[in-house]
Amino acid sequence: MRKSDLKSGFNFGNLLCYIGLVTIGILCLYPALWVIMSSVRPGNALYSEHLIPTSFTLQHYRDLFATYPYAQWFINTFKVAFFTMIFSTLLVTITGYVFSRFRFRGRQKIMLNMLVVGMFPGFMSMIAVYILLMQLQLLDTHLSLILVYSAGAPMGFLYVKSFFDTVPQSLIDAAKIDGAGHLTVFRRIMLPLSKPMLVYIALTSFSGGFVDFIFANMVLSTPEKQTLAVGLFKIVQGKFATEFTLFAAGCVLVAVPLTLLFIVLQRYLVEGLMAGADKG
Amino acid sequence: MGQHRKRAMILSFIGMGFGQIYNRQLLKGIVFFFVHIAGIYLATLLPRAIWGITTLGEQADQLKKVGKVYVNIRGDHSIFLLIEGMIVILAMIIMLFIYVANIRDAYQIGKLREQGIKSNNFSETVNYLLGQKFPQVVISLPLMLVIFFTLMPILFMIMLAFTNYSSPNYLPPAKLVSWIGFDGFRDLFTINAWNNTFFGVALWTLIWTVCATITTFVGGFVVALMVQKRGIRFKGFWRTLFIIPYAIPQFISLLIMRNMFNGEFGPVNQYLKYFGLGGLPWLTDPFWAKFTVIIVNIWIGFPISMLMIIGILSTISKDLYEAAEIDGASSIQQFNAITFPTVMLSFAPLLVMSFAGNINNFNLIYLLTNGNPVNPTYQFAGSTDILITWLYKLTMDSGKYNYASIIGIFIFIIIASFSIVNLKRTKAFKEEDQYR
């Protein structure tokens, strides 16, 4: 055993390090804790003497469901996020597969153009997309959101491609000798071998559909069709100055599902992120 | 020239699918023929599309006196005309591609028939498409989506930069929009109030981007070193704890932060006062607002770089450090010679990407400060507005669409110029002819 291991328990450097870690940990947790505490505090003021309220109430949560179609918003949001996840993941992985495993005329050009196009700031184009959706009679539908979010997905192909590039060609050749078609190779070899990447992409597209409040706000006009993000954002814009605790309850309800998802899937997230970092 | 290929080609030239039917590919021919009908329909729209794009309409909505009452007569809506025109033209270009492919196909099959090879039946054609032509067939759907939902809107935006589309004088449907060439660019850069705002906002965007990128990188690095330090226990626990800011949806945590930093009632100032310090104008003073924006960004951004750097650190072999220790290297020397260069090597491209991301970090500014506090010398922008949020305000709040488009083009040029250099260096993009 080395010296440094022996005295690690009383090491001054380690002590400082622990103090640092605990401080950062508190800073990371505090905002979440504060909002949870605010959401169960009676009254509606932003200001409070203590972090932990002297009495607890669930009234704000009840109000949320009574004043707004919050349950409906939940269903809408899950619907939009779920289908966005399915279609985005499908589109971006198949695009990555094609660019990774096939050589065809114009391939490099299409790749570069897709990446360049992806660098334009999106807001101006929202007007055009809005009018396009109007022509397609899709305004104020969830389909339009799913369509628009998924249509943007293929531009993130580079990450998938770099992952697929590492799958050994010999595996694919072997499958082809056994008579597998391109789609079988994709489904049976490429996808199963890239689970961390799939989880990462699925999760980011799910949360992308979950949290968008700008485009969704533009497209969805009837309150019953809104998503959580839009609804919450409207509450904030409308009367959050007077009803802070209600807003806090709304925040908790929106944040909990996604936050849990991220924490449960963090192992995949780390692997997925790392895969991107490795290959640059 | 042989008989079959010539006839098939001419027939397909006259009508899509005719050549295929001549080549005894009935189903394929019928499919092409339906496309042809769609093409004819499209062609009837073409003259109006071209007229719309070139003139942007000739008559705006107007009130006409019918009897004793005024009635609103629908006129041309310039922006609708522009977008509809672009959709038609893009669809027409795609149609032309199919048309050429149809003629070429008829020719090829005809040629094969002359050589005595039987033409494919429909299921053989499908198999051929899914086999040999797999990449082209599969890529066409994502490509189509990108063309209509990303490329078309971008072209639209670029075109807007050359019009006078702006509130209040050139706002359809009451008024018409017209092409003004580079006048918009000239005005934005020469009218004092505007170019003052532009350079002010651009400078802050630059400062913000550099600070945001460096602080999150350094913050993530430091935390990663602490978590991975020899002798520190519960590494998994610390990592999970520090992922929380990343796991909470950004727009929620930003709205929470906005309340926490509230100067009058927020808990941050409350704590400062508790410790006997005066509160700070976190979001209301131009300097402090900028400071707050960067601090909050560290909170939101450090987990990602921490995760990645932990990953990189775990790939460094322990032997290296032991060898260094035997040679008597101090921990600072070890860091300088081993840790830092290794991390930089893997992280550099990501740093460039995060730089590009921060230029467009709309959510942070919009939700935290909404660009405020107000800057009276700026046009429609506040002290913490970066280019992208200014662009948003110009579009959504004040209707200066043409200026917003010019700024959009400007942002694009900046981001694209170094992203492309960065991309071309990455392995994923280089033409790799053997797979790893």
Mean pLDDT of all residues in A155-167: 86
> Do B45 and B173 belong together in one domain?
yes
Q: What is the pLDDT of residue B431?
A: 55
Residues A188, A147: one domain? yes
> To the nearest whole percent, how much of chain A has pLDDT over 70?
91
Taking a contact as any Cβ pair under 8 Å apart, which residues of chain A between 1 and 60 contact chain B?
4-5, 8, 11, 13-14, 17-18, 20-21, 24-25, 27-29, 31-32, 34-35, 45-48, 51
CA distance A273 to chain B (A): 7
Q: Do A179 and A268 belong to one domain?
A: yes
Residue appearing with tokens 């904030």:
A236
Torsion of CA B284, B288, B294, B298, to 10 degrees: -100
Contact B260 A247 (CB under 8 A): no
Does one domain contain both A33 and A165?
no
DSSP letter for B400, please: -
Instruction: Output the average pLDDT for chain B.
Output: 86
**In terms of domains, do A52 and A116 share one?**
no
The mean pLDDT value for A123-144 works out to: 85
Asked whether residue B334 falls in the same domain as residue B419, the answer is: yes
- Which CATH number does the domain housing residue B266 bear? 1.10.3720.10
**Structural domain boundaries enclosing A104:** 61-279
At B319 the pLDDT is 87
Whether residues B140 and B207 fall in one domain: no
Q: Domain boundary at B165, B181, B197, which?
A: B181
Write the CB contacts of B300 (distance below 8 Å, at least 6 apart in sequence): B245, B246, B250, B253, B254, B364
Predicted confidence (pLDDT) per residue in B299-350, tens digit: 999 998 998 888 888 888 888 888 988 888 888 898 888 889 888 887 877 8
> Which token pair is B419?
């992203």
Residues A165 and A268 in one domain: yes
pLDDT per residue as tens digits for the range A35-79: 998 888 888 777 777 777 778 888 889 988 888 888 899 999 999
End position of a domain, from candidates A60, A79, A108: A60
Residues A33 and A161 in one domain: no
Tokens matching residue A107: 């391939």
Q: Which candidate from A121, A251, A274 shows the least CB-CB separation from B411?
A: A121
Name the residue of chain A whose CA is nearest to B388's CA.
A121
Q: Is B431 part of any domain?
A: no
Which of the listed residues B162, B181, B200 is the one where a domain comes to its end? Answer: B181
* Residue A2: both structure tokens together: 């080395």
Domain range for B132: 3-181
Tokens coding A11: 């090491």
Q: Which chain B residues touch A151 with a CB distance below 8 Å? A: 145-146, 148-150
Interface with B, mutate which of A103, A127, A130 (most B CBs under 10 A)? A127
* A75: contact with B, CB 8 A cutoff: no
**Rounded to the nearest 5°, which phi and psi values hold at B62?**
-150, 160
Whether A51 and A155 map to the same domain: the answer is no
Q: Give me the number of domains chain B comprises.
A: 2
Same domain flag for A182 and A52: no
Q: Are both A26 and A148 inside the same structural domain?
A: no
Show Cβ contacts of residue A240 under 8 Å, excluding neighbours closer than 6 positions: A247
At which of B120, B155, B181 does a domain end? B181
What's residue B429's pLDDT? 64
Question: Does the residue B125 lie in any domain?
Answer: yes
Residues B106 and B252 in one domain: no
One domain, residues A155 and A180: yes
Instruction: State residue B201's pLDDT score.
Output: 93
Tally A–B CB contacts below 8 A: 271
Which of A32, A60, A88 terminates a domain? The answer is: A60
Q: Say if residue A99 is in the same domain as residue A203.
A: yes
Give B264's contacts in chain A (Cβ within 8 Å). Answer: 47
Instruction: Give the domain-ending residue among A38, A60, A82.
Output: A60
Query: Quick check: B294 pLDDT over 90?
Result: yes
Contact of A38 with A48, CB cutoff 8 Å: yes
Q: Under an 8 A CB cutoff, do B436 and A211 touch?
A: no
Q: Domain total for chain A?
A: 2
- Best probe of the A interface among B126, B154, B393, by most A CBs < 10 A, is B154
Task: Tell me, yes or no, whether B435 lies in a domain.
Answer: no
B173 located within any domain: yes
Residues from chain A contacting residue B230 (CB–CB below 8 Å): 4, 8
Cβ–Cβ contact A98 with B under 8 A: yes
> Comparing A136-150, B111-125, B150-164, which segment has the lowest mean pLDDT?
B111-125
Residue B382: strand, helix, or coil: strand
Provide the phi-psi class of B171: left if phi over 0, else alpha when psi is between -120 and 50, else beta.
Answer: beta
Closest chain B residue to A273, measured at CA: B308
Look up the CATH number of the domain holding residue A275.
Answer: 1.10.3720.10
> Are residue B191 and residue B113 in the same domain, yes or no?
no
> What integer is the mean pLDDT of B218-246?
90
ipTM of the complex in this document: 0.85
One domain, residues A70 and A93: yes
